Every structure is written in C-alpha cells, then in structure tokens.
Amino acid sequence: MDAQRHAGQTAIVTGAGSGIGRATVLQLAAEGARVIGCDVNAAGLGETQDLLAAQGLHAEPVTADITVQDDVEAVLGQVGGAPVDLLANVAGIMDHFAPLDEVTDELWANVLAVNLNGPMRLTRAVLPGMRERGTGSVVMVASEASLRGGTAGVAYTASKHALLGLVRHVAYFYGPQGIRCNAVLPGPVATGIGASAMPVSQWAMERAVASMGVMGPIAQPEAIASVISWLGCAEAGNVNGAVVAADGGWSAA
C-alpha cells in the first residue's frame, strides 16, 4: 500500500457497504484519495464508516441504488463538481445459479440492472468530466464467470461477459482522450455476494461444481482491492482495455 498513490484524487466506489467495495474504500482512503462510497445498503455503509474511523480515515457515504438514474445523479452530486479520477464499479449480485430454462424475466432484469446497467450509467456519468480534463480511470469488477459458462447461472454469466464488452468499448473509444478502462476478474473471494445466490438451482449447482475442480484459493477482499487501486493509479498509465485475472490461477487451467 502506497500512502501517496492516490493523494489529491477523487474516487467513486460502488458496493462500498461490504466485501471488495468496502476493502477498496479503505485502501483508497489510506492511499490519500477523497472517496465517495455508495451502496444500496445503508447499514453496510455505516459499518464501513466505523472501520474507516477506527483507522483514522474518512470517506463520504452515499446510500444509492445504481440501477436508478436519480441515484446515479445523487452520487455525482456528492462529488460536487470535483474531477473524478477513478471510478471503481464493484457492486454486483448473484443469480441463484438459475440456468436458462429456470431464469425468470424478473431475475434476469435485476441481475443485469445491477451488474451491467449500473456500471454503464455511472461510467457514462463520469465520462464528460474525464474527457474535459483528458484523464481518468475506470475499473470494472467482472468475474471468472466473464470467461466461462459454468461458474454461475445464466444471468450472472451473461452480465459479466457483457461487462468485458463495455470495458473494451470504453478503452478503445476514449483511450485516445486519456481515459483508461480495465477489468479485474476475481475468482472465489470471501464476501457476502453468496447471499444473493440463495436459494440455488440444485442441478445447475451440481453441474457447475464439475468446472470448479481447478478453482483457486479463496481470496480476501483486500487482495482484489489492491489490484483495483493499482489499475486506477498512474503506475498503470499504459494499461488500458486489460482483463486482469485475480483468481489465484483458476483461469490458467
């Protein structure tokens, strides 16, 4: 951890109330950034604030649902016109491991709203300021499921595959304007996202287990936060459009 890596910068982190998002808020704040942490879970944000205070750190919490455009605008309103140097799109939900013949329209729409539409809206919202300044970094938390068809249900898998398309689009079209966009792909991480997978489709879960024999070790959220921090800093200035596996070697199998 570099205490000056993000000094003087402003960062927005979604999913700040738990897991990887919380760890990212803590790391960026420790590295000197002004951090706006947003989450739909107000209680979780409060716990993040308590952890920050215990370390003598500070972040600005915003209770927001990134699937709602008014809430996206509220997050940008908290920034108050300051330049956004880093957007970390971390928030995500699972899908009960529902295969195609079991997924409902409601579940499909909800998962894609959080995992794809939310990141798109926030990225779209920060782009004008980044383009005006000629600099900025966006980091999308995708998944090992971005590379495979058998590690989750159809909605989660489709959303995380599509997220890579969004990353590559932003990297290609806005890279010449000084904006970088990269993806980090965690494998198993000790977070609370599993709660949004319950209850699971039993046969689909059993089928998915067959692809998990080479799964890497379970990582702590801080390990992924470190990758996000690096991708968002000046040291990674020549990294754009990258798909960075942070999965303990799972994707190498």
Q: Which of 87, 120, 145, 156 is catalytic?
A: 156
* Domain region containing 44: 10-252
Query: Does 207 have pLDDT greater than 80?
Result: no
At residue 187 the predicted structure's pLDDT band, cuts being 50, 70 and 90, is confident
Q: What is the CATH number of the domain that holds 129?
A: 3.40.50.720
Instruction: Provide the domain count of the chain.
Output: 1
Answer yes or no: is 21 within a domain: yes
Is 156 noted as a catalytic residue in this protein?
A: yes
Q: How many CB atoms within 10 Å of residue 194?
A: 12
Q: For residue 139, what are the β-bridge partners?
A: 88, 182
CA atoms within 13 A on the CB side of 79: 24
Q: Exposed e or buried b for every residue in 209-232, given b needs 16+ CB within 10 A? A: eeeeeebbeebebbebbbbbbbbb
Q: Exposed e or buried b for every residue in 98-107, given b needs 16+ CB within 10 A? A: bbeeebeeeb
pLDDT at 216: 66
Answer yes or no: is 1 within a domain: no
C-beta separation of 250 from 214 below 8 A: yes
- Contacts of residue 176, defined as CB under 8 A and 6 or more positions apart, other chains included, come to none
pLDDT at 250: 73
What's the burial of 46, exposed, middle or buried (CB within 10 Å: 0-12/13-18/19+)?
A: middle
- Mean pLDDT, range 196-210, rounded to an integer: 56
Answer yes or no: is 165 within a domain: yes
Answer yes or no: is 96 within a domain: yes
Answer yes or no: is 3 within a domain: no
Residues 18-49: tens digit of each pLDDT: 999 999 999 999 999 999 999 999 999 999 99
Q: Where are the beta strands (DSSP E) in 53-114?
A: 60-63, 86-89
Answer yes or no: is 99 within a domain: yes
Answer yes or no: is 4 within a domain: no
Answer yes or no: is 123 within a domain: yes
At residue 217 the predicted structure's pLDDT band, cuts being 50, 70 and 90, is confident
Please give the single-letter amino acid code of residue 22: R
pLDDT at 150: 86
At residue 98 the predicted structure's pLDDT band, cuts being 50, 70 and 90, is very high
Q: For residue 88, what are the β-bridge partners?
A: 13, 139
- Angstrom CA distances, 201 to 120, 141, 205, stand at 29, 25, 6
The SS3 assignment for 134 reads coil
